[in-house]
Amino acid sequence: MKHFTLILIAMLTTISAFAQQKIDADFTQTKLMKISGKTTNKTGHILFDGNDQLSMNYTQPEGDYFIVNGMMVKMNMDGKKAELDAEKVKLVKLQRSTLLNCLAGNWEQAATDNNAELEVTESKGLKTVAITAKGKVPKGGYRSVVLTYRISDGAMVKMVLEEAIGIVNTYEIIK
């Protein structure tokens, strides 16, 4: 009975580690424009509180940022600034909720919002969560999202977001 209890505790600890991600780490971002084949690389620091507070402050290029504060989304990307209320801008609402749900481990909701299927696999110490559109991607949605976690501690190590318009952003979390 004691052995069973230890296994159950270990399983619950692993599940909870994946269910509520909090992130405070450096990251790299590679953006691929499929049509042109052009790639850009960026670096920065990400802070995520596990709910609806996210900040990505870029160190390269310095001054770029992407911030979610509740329903407000603020960004300065490549010199283009915007401040948007996700309640009022449907496209931003979907992107915001997908990103936050993926980071928080709410994969089922992210799949539902993007009219997508969800598949979870484990191999070589990693858990991979793939969210793939079933058909037409909702405007502002993602064709696919692939999340990779270390099983040992539940930490996210990689997130790949493929937009319907052919832009692929790959984020690697450096801890």
* Per-residue pLDDT tens over the stretch 112-132: 998 899 999 999 999 999 999
Position 55, amino acid: S
* pLDDT at position 1: 45
pLDDT tens across 74-109, in order?
999 989 999 999 999 988 999 999 999 999 999 999
Share of the chain above pLDDT 90, in %: 73
- Give whole-number Cα distances, 136 to 91, 125, 132, 140, 152, in Å: 15, 33, 11, 11, 36
Q: CB of 48 within 8 A of CB of 21?
A: yes
Is pLDDT larger for residue 166 or for residue 41?
41
* pLDDT at position 134: 93
Locate 41 and state its tokens. 């690389």
Report the sign of the C-alpha dihedral through residues 137, 27, 58, 109, in that order.
Answer: positive
H or E stretch at 35: none
Q: Is the pLDDT reported for residue 158 higher than 90?
A: yes
- Domains belonging to the chain, first-starting first, are 2-174 (2.50.20.10)
